[in-house]
């Protein structure tokens, strides 16, 4: 093997090129994994594992709570509307409100 085949794209000696391809692939995966979590939607976009985890946690928490809030607001509004019309759903929640409305033919 000539030494020129051990040079990377930037022309510097890269000894990892002397490794078998499957070992190189594994190494690349490990390097990637040390920064980003498995399942990160943008692998390599984060500077550290912690940053990756924080980004994921934040977006998950914000996304979930916004969705739950919107759902809760809609359920509450439907419940209030049903009460205003003189109905008494068993509980707050779309399925209860809708069951009550159906029962009275509203």
Residues that bind Zn ion (CB under 5 A): 36, 40, 46, 52
Least distance to Zn ion, CB of residue 44, Å:
7
Least distance to Zn ion, CB of residue 64, Å:
19
Taking the least distance from each CB to Zn ion, the nearer of 13 and 45 is 45
Residue 24: both structure tokens together: 């190189």
> Which residues lie across from 38 on neighbouring strands?
none
Least distance to Zn ion, CB of residue 30, Å:
15
Using CA atoms, how far apart are residues 78 and 40, in angstroms rounded to an integer? 38
Residue 103: both structure tokens together: 């029962």
Least distance to Zn ion, CB of residue 59, Å:
11
Query: Which residues are within 8 A (CB) of 16 and not within 5 positions of it... i.e. 6 or more apart?
Result: 24, 27
Taking the least distance from each CB to Zn ion, the nearer of 40 and 82 is 40
Using CA atoms, how far apart are residues 19 and 69, in angstroms rounded to an integer? 53
Taking the least distance from each CB to Zn ion, the nearer of 54 and 94 is 54
Using CA atoms, how far apart are residues 82 and 106, in angstroms rounded to an integer? 9
Taking the least distance from each CB to Zn ion, the nearer of 46 and 97 is 46
């Amino acid at each position: 093997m000539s030494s020129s085949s051990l040079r990377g794209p930037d022309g510097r000696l890269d000894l990892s090129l002397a490794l078998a391809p499957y070992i190189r692939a594994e190494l690349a995966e490990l390097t990637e994994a040390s920064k980003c979590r498995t399942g990160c939607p943008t692998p390599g976009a984060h500077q550290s594992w912690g940053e990756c985890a924080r980004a994921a946690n934040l977006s998950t928490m914000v996304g979930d709570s916004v969705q739950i809030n919107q759902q809760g607001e809609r359920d509450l509004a439907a419940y209030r509307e049903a009460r205003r019309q003189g109905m008494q759903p068993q509980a707050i929640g779309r399925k209860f409100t809708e069951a009550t409305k159906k029962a009275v033919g509203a």
